[in-house]
Amino acid sequence: MRDLKQLVKAYDVRGVVPDQWDEDLSRAFGAAFVQVTGATAIVVGHDMRPSSPSLTRAFAEGAAGYGADVVQIGLCSTDQLYYASGAFDLPGAMFTASHNPAEYNGIKLCRAGAAPVGQDTGLAEIRELVESWTGEDDTVTVPARDVRPGTLSERETLRGYADHLLGLVDLAAIRPLKVAVDAGNGMGGHTVPTVFDGLPIELVPMYFELDGTFPNHEANPLDPKNLVDLQAKVREVGADLGLAFDGDADRCFVVDERGEPVSPSAITALVAAREIARAKAAGEAEPTIIHNLITSWTVPEVVRELGGAPVRTRVGHSFIKQEMAVTDAVFGGEHSAHYYFRDFWRADTGMLAALHVLAALGGQPGTLSELTAEYDRYAASGEINSTVADQADRTAAVRAAFAVEGTTVDELDGLTVAGPDWWFNLRASNTEPLLRLNVEAKDPARMAELRDGVLAVVRA
């Protein structure tokens, strides 16, 4: 039998088509989603992958068969689906495998108002229901339900999505900017032209053709090799900055005028500063900013300096969104370039973060590297993966070697050890035999020494 635990991850559904899942299974997920959420109407959208239209159609049929009216918004970015979920106040399903290769596809699910659906908030129940409908020969039989079948309708949301984002950032007075954008043949090629239309921006588009086979490079800007083309283009055309979106365009990475990557932590600090100022102007005394434990120490430092309240969380959008709801935080950022906004239903949108960068840069005469210099205070290793036979054993060995007198230790998410001017975090992957290491220190030499020391123990 198919192992649905391999298909249903912590935050979404993701696997190879048709080996791990297909239209029949997608139809069952649609029915199960409606049954678990109790939805009477939902909104669905999809990315540009070759398998996305048929999987989305099957999911919609399954949902309609269980009594839900289905609003289909067609090709969209993930944050465009979140916009539709928030604007229509409907649960939503986005068909995408984000930055994964072409043979993958998946579903990101949310409740009304873009509230997350993860293992602890309905996804495990959905999986168990689909498992109960799956036979030993992998055939899926969705039981008939004595309800009025739902309707299928279509609705356009791109213009509304763009207008909503542009209403959250003041770009009226920015100076003209030349911006290179690498969409990676993903959904950024769909959203950027509409969002940027009418702004004083000379757009230099790269790989805007929607192509889920990703003919130019992987749509994963977190991997430095996928930024090389954008870096070269920024230097070639003399752009003020470059933007790179992942496959479903919910994450955005930034390159400065020199073609150098700007860390997501620096972008988190920059946007946090702007959102704190906006919240204070509206009367909030101490606006809350969420950051995961792998973002730079710069982020909480900047937040405190500006009179905000930083809150540290585990990695992952469900934890960020939950903490944002509890604290009424105005903004949240992760090291992976996911950016969350209270005014966007606490959902993540790389496009809104990009607009903040454009507003900050366009509102002053300097360069982006000058603007972000104050948010780049430490040397960081980036995330380094190591394949290990025993994650717990290697983590314990690192703890024994580095958790000594004069350090602080916590296990909020993996193992974090901190000294006076350095820290590292070592986390086990939930899906692979990997340990993920992130190191930060006040100077590059100390960072490199610490990085190499930890890796020597991990890989011993």
Q: What are the catalytic residues? A: 98
- Describe the strand order of the beta sheet including 177-182 as a list of residue ranges: 201-206, 177-182, 241-245, 252-255, 261-262
The two structure tokens encoding residue 58: 């099957």
- The rounded distance, in Å, linking the Cα atoms of 9 and 54 is 22
- The rounded distance, in Å, linking the Cα atoms of 245 and 350 is 8
User: Percent helix, strand and coil across the chain, each rounded to 5?
Assistant: 40, 25, 40
DSSP string, 261-305: EEPHHHHHHHHHHHHHHHHHHTT-SS-EEEEETTS-THHHHHHHH
* C-alpha of 328 from chain center: 20
What distance, in Å, lies between the first and last C-alpha atoms of the chain? Answer: 37
DSSP string, 92-152: EEEE--TTS-TTEEEEEEEEGGGEE--GGGTHHHHHHHHHHTB-TTS-B-PPP--SPPPPE
- The rounded distance, in Å, linking the Cα atoms of 57 and 157 is 18
Token match 């969209």: residue? 76
DSSP 8-state code for residue 172 = T
What lies within 8 Å, CB to CB, of 54 at 6+ separation is: 23
Distances (CA, A) of 164 to 38, 83, 322, 402: 28, 8, 23, 48
Q: How many Cβ atoms from other residues are within 10 Å of residue 447's Cβ?
A: 19
| Pick from 25, 12, 191: nearest CA to 107 | 12
| Pick from 332, 125, 101: nearest CA to 109 | 125
Q: How many Cβ atoms from other residues are within 10 Å of residue 231's Cβ?
A: 20
Regarding beta strands 288-292 and 309-313, do their DSSP bridges make them parallel or antiparallel, or are they unpaired?
Answer: parallel
| Pick from 15, 214, 238, 237: nearest CA to 130 | 15
| Pick from 201, 203, 193: nearest CA to 359 | 201
